[in-house]
């Protein structure tokens, strides 16, 4: 018989009842070091007192009023995001896919309002992930996600990730913009070359296209800067965010420059929940932590420490690990073809470490931004033992 909870996930047989910082405890009392952060979402760890307090206090005052009225908490959150980024204006929603939908609508609207409704197509990249709505599975382009769901939504052209010639070849009279993750997350933790991001900015300027960044996974400090595109020294026209910005509370956002944002007039787009007082209180509390002086420097420091460990780990286990890649606290261990990333993930669980599988046989490591160097070292020890578990026995003997 079908479970009451629809079986659309492949869930590990672990149920957590509480968390503190980077640690979570199962209902049967086992403790795990959470280096997945619920898929890069619990950005400031579990049970962060400041976030807990902000949510509890706001819940007691008023949770929801709808966007028929002013929401001071959302106005404040938007103003703070504007002050801290390239953006002039921010729209709130509830998830990454929703943020991307809003972003794509804004890009199309921009061209329509500028007299070019025929410019609606976005250039996307092979290996991308933009979410699970009907339009976003088309933007993702992965045949596996599209299968069985009818004709893909029109308007997304895919080219190889990092290939500038292919981008130029794909530009036509209907092209509206380019949609890219600065680091492909689900697709296998593949960072775009910073040069490539700069070139995309230039080609968008050359052809009057909008550069739309999906920073749902890479944003909110995960790369060691607030937004990953800052490493490339470029600014997008528009950007989506979610995952880390609510610290575990569902919150998405579209951040845009004025020339794009100004076309989303009343009636063009909206959400019932988007940026309600409770969600905005959570977003403000996360920002308080992430924008506190020195916080991102500390993320960068602990990330560099962790990276040294990952490079050493890859060298020590060449039969298991092909390479470590990513940026900041979004790290992918690309495994040898003989080793399956699901098995590796299970080996990590056996050692007490939570990680997330990603495409291209990659094990994804995305700890909360608040981890200490000692916790990074503990995770590296667990990974080391997990690698040993997966090393063929003859090789294990030789490596001892
Ligand atoms: C997770 C993710 C999404 C989808 O976010 P949801 O909240 O699951 O809708 C979109 N883009 C990227 C890059 C993501 O990592």
Per-residue pLDDT of the chain (400 residues; tens, 9 = 90+): 999 999 999 999 999 999 999 999 999 999 999 999 999 999 999 999 999 999 999 999 999 999 999 999 999 999 999 999 999 999 999 999 999 999 999 999 999 999 999 999 999 999 999 999 999 999 999 999 999 999 999 999 999 999 999 999 999 999 999 999 999 999 999 999 999 999 999 999 999 999 999 999 999 999 999 999 999 999 999 999 999 999 999 999 999 999 999 999 999 999 999 999 999 999 999 999 999 999 999 999 999 999 999 999 999 999 999 999 999 999 999 999 999 999 999 999 999 999 999 999 999 999 999 999 999 999 999 999 999 999 877 666 665 5
131 lines ligand 1 (CB under 6 A): yes
Structure token pair of residue 340? 């399956």
In degrees rounded to 5, what are phi and psi of residue 190?
-110, 110
Domain boundaries, the chain: 16-34+293-399, 49-290
- The pTM score is 0.97
Distance CA 29, CA 197 (A): 46
The verdict on whether residue 272 carries a ligand-binding annotation is yes
Structure token pair of residue 191? 């960072």
Give the closest residue to 255 by CA, choosing from 129, 77, 130.
77
User: Which pLDDT score, from 0 to 100, does residue 398 have?
Assistant: 61
User: Which pLDDT score, from 0 to 100, does residue 395 have?
Assistant: 67
Residue nearest to atom 11 of ligand 1 (CA): 130
Distance CA 396, CA 375 (A): 26
User: Which pLDDT score, from 0 to 100, does residue 393 have?
Assistant: 74
In degrees rounded to 5, what are phi and psi of residue 324?
-105, 135
**CB within 8 A of 213, min separation 6: which ones?**
179, 180, 181, 182, 227, 229, 236, 238, 239, 240
Using the mean position of ligand 1's atoms as its centre, give its distance from the Cα of residue 396 in Å. 38
User: Which pLDDT score, from 0 to 100, does residue 324 have?
Assistant: 97
Residues 109 and 268: beta-carbon distance below 8 Å:
yes
16-34+293-399 topology per CATH? 3.90.1150
Determine which helix (DSSP H) or strand (DSSP E) holds 92, and give its type and residue range.
strand 89-93
State the greatest distance between any 2 C-alpha atoms of the chain, in Å, as a whole number.
69
User: Which pLDDT score, from 0 to 100, does residue 397 have?
Assistant: 62
101 lines ligand 1 (CB under 6 A): no
Q: Is 19 helix (H, G, I), strand (E, B) or coil?
A: strand
Distance CA 388, CA 400 (A): 10
User: Which pLDDT score, from 0 to 100, does residue 400 have?
Assistant: 56
The verdict on whether residue 215 carries a ligand-binding annotation is yes
Pocket probe mutation, ligand 1, options 161, 242, 247, max atoms within 8 Å of Cβ: 242
Structure token pair of residue 198? 């700069």
Q: Please give the CATH architecture assigned to the domain spanning 49-290.
A: 3-Layer(aba) Sandwich (3.40)
Q: Is 42 helix (H, G, I), strand (E, B) or coil?
A: coil
Using the mean position of ligand 1's atoms as its centre, give its distance from the Cα of residue 313 in Å. 29
Using the mean position of ligand 1's atoms as its centre, give its distance from the Cα of residue 130 in Å. 5
């Amino acid at each position: 018989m079908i479970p009451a909870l629809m079986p659309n996930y492949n869930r590990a047989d672990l149920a957590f009842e509480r968390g503190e910082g980077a640690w979570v405890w199962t209902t049967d009392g086992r403790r795990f070091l959470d280096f997945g952060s619920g898929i890069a979402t619990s950005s400031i760890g579990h049970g962060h007192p400041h976030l807990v307090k902000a949510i509890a206090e706001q819940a007691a005052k008023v949770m929801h009023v709808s966007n028929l009225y002013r929401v001071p908490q959302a106005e404040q959150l938007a103003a703070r995001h504007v002050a801290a980024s390239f953006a002039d204006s921010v729209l709130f929603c509830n998830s990454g896919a929703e943020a991307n939908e809003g972003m794509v609508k804004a890009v199309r609207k921009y061209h329509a309002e500028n007299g070019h409704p025929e410019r609606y197509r976005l250039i996307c990249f092979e290996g991308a992930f933009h979410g699970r709505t009907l339009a976003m599975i088309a933007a993702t382009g992965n045949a596996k996600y599209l299968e069985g769901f009818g004709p893909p939504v029109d308007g997304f052209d895919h080219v190889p990730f990092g290939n500038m010639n292919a981008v130029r070849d794909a530009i036509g009279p209907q092209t509206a913009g380019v949609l890219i993750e600065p680091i492909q997350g689900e697709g296998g933790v593949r960072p775009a070359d910073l040069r490539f991001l700069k070139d995309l900015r230039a080609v968008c300027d050359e052809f009057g296209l909008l550069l739309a960044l999906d920073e749902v996974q890479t944003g909110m400090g995960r790369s060691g800067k607030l937004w990953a595109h800052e490493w490339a020294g470029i600014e997008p026209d528009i950007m989506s965010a979610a995952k880390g910005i609510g610290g575990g509370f569902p919150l998405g956002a579209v951040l845009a420059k004025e020339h794009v944002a100004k076309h989303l007039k009343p009636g063009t787009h909206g959400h019932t929940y988007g940026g309600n007082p409770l969600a905005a209180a959570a977003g403000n509390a996360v920002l308080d932590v992430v924008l506190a002086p020195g916080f991102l420097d500390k993320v960068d420091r602990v990330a560099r420490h962790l990276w040294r460990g990952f490079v050493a780990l890859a060298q020590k286990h060449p039969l298991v690990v092909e390479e470590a890649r990513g940026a900041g606290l979004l790290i992918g261990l690309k495994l040898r073809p003989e080793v399956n990333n699901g098995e590796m993930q299970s080996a990590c669980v056996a050692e007490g470490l939570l990680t997330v599988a990603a495409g291209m046989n990659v094990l994804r490591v995305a700890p909360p931004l608040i981890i200490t160097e000692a916790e990074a070292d503990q995770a590296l020890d667990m990974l080391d033992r997990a690698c040993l578990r997966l090393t063929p026995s003859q090789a294990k003997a030789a490596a001892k």
